[in-house]
Every structure is written in structure tokens, then in C-alpha cells.
Homo-oligomer: A and B are copies of this chain.
Amino acid sequence: MKGVQFLVAFVLLALASKLVSASDPSPLQDFCVAINDTKDGVFVNGKFCKDPKLAKAEDFYLSGLNIPGNTSNQVGSMVTPANVQQIPGLNTLGISLVRIDYAPYGGLNPPHTHPRATEILVVVEGTLYVGFVTSNMDNRLFTKVLHPGDVFVFPEGLIHFQFNIGHTNAVAFAALSSQNPGVITIANAVFGSDPAINPDVLAKAFQLDKNIVNQLQSRFWWDNN
């Protein structure tokens, strides 16, 4: 009998830690602190949350955004995130933050989109050439060279990039209008998808020789996020 009670308690406990990944766009209570994802789970739009009575200050806290990201990689940049994956208290609240480090002489945060967020970036150190491209027909490029204290906006869903054109490290903080903004690095999604897109599609779309497409598809595509 005791065994049964223990088992029931155990299962309920297992369950509590199992129902992960679910919340939503506009908060319906003061906060709804996310519970960590589970492997065998059921999900919701956003994240499941824990009992608000159990919320604590640590749920709204993260340390470490003073530590430079390692930029020794293919693109020479690193994005350190502070979104709902790192700060469960952000769940349902519609905002997040990143620190971005760029190596000197060409550190690049390559062309990408955030499918669910606008980005506002402030430069803390270094010199960045930044830009975004509008949608069809015009595909206008808006660019600016940014110095410390400069702010720039990348509207939701548009392709954008930042490029370190200085000879020192560059550092920026950027805020995003979603607790889970998502990132689509264009080159990675197009040439590095798993499995690969039919190369005829890419050769025609990008006006590239099919051999070059095949080469690109066999390369490694680093994700700096």
C-alpha cells in the first residue's frame, strides 16, 4: 500500500517535470515562469509554467553577459542569448536580449532573419557596418556605420547583418520583441539544410552552377547563435 502511494507521488512528480515547453503571446497573469523542456513531453504554444507560488527571483535572473563570446569561428562572431531558454521568467512576456561579440577585421553576424521579432541594437565597443533589406519588389538596402552609443533598428522578418569593419573587437547588446524570437541564418538554411534541398532548385534560384551548389551543400555551416 505504501508502495502504491509512493508510486503515485513519483508519477505525479515525474509528470510535473515532464510537461514542458508551453505558454503564450500576451500575459494573462503577473507572470508564468517556464518549466524546462522534457524529452518525452507534450507541448503548448510557448511553454508550460510552474505554480506562480513557487516562482523566485532567480527565475527572472541571468548572469554572464559581461563575458566576451568566443569569436574564433568561421564567421568571427558569437551571439550570447538571454531569452526564455536561459531566463524562464521571460515566458509570455514578449522580450529578450543578446550580447554579440565580433572579431576584429571582419567579424560578421551573417545575413539572417528573426521570424518573430524586431531587433534594436546598441553598440558598446568597436565599429560596425550594419544593414537590412526590404521585401520585394524594391529590396532596398538600408545601411549605417555604427560607433559606441549608436542604436539601430532591424524591423521584424527582414534580412539583416552586422559586420565589424574596425581593427578592434566590437561588442553590442540587442533586444528582440519576443521571448523566443528564432533565428534563420540565410546561408545555413539554404545551403546547409538537413537533408539538402534539391540542388536544381538552388542552382536556378541563385543563378549558380550546379557544381558550386553541390560544393556549398557539402560544406560545414557554423551557427553563431
Q: Which residues of A are at the interface with B, using a C-beta cutoff of 8 A?
A: 3-4, 7-8, 10-12, 14-16, 18-19, 21-32, 35, 39-46, 48-52, 55-58, 60-67, 75-76, 82, 87, 89-97, 99, 106, 108, 110-111, 113, 115-120, 122, 124, 129, 131, 133-144, 146-159, 161, 163, 173, 175-180, 182-198, 200-202, 204-208, 212, 216, 219, 221, 223, 225
Q: Write 21 A-B pairs (CB below 8 A) sorted by A numbering.
A: A8-B11, A19-B19, A30-B135, A57-B142, A67-B149, A87-B153, A89-B153, A94-B177, A95-B177, A96-B120, A97-B175, A111-B205, A115-B115, A129-B201, A131-B197, A135-B182, A137-B223, A139-B189, A163-B198, A186-B205, A187-B205
Q: Which residues of B contact A143 (CB under 8 A)?
A: 57
Quick one: closest B residue to A94, CB to CB?
B177
Q: Which residues of B contact A52 (CB under 8 A)?
A: 21, 43
Q: Which residues of B contact A61 (CB under 8 A)?
A: 144, 146, 150-153
Least CB distance from A205 to B in Å reads 4
- Judging by beta carbons under 8 Å apart, are A150 and B63 in contact? yes
Give Cα A19–Cα B50 distance, bound, in whole angstroms: 11
Quick one: closest B residue to A174, CB to CB?
B175
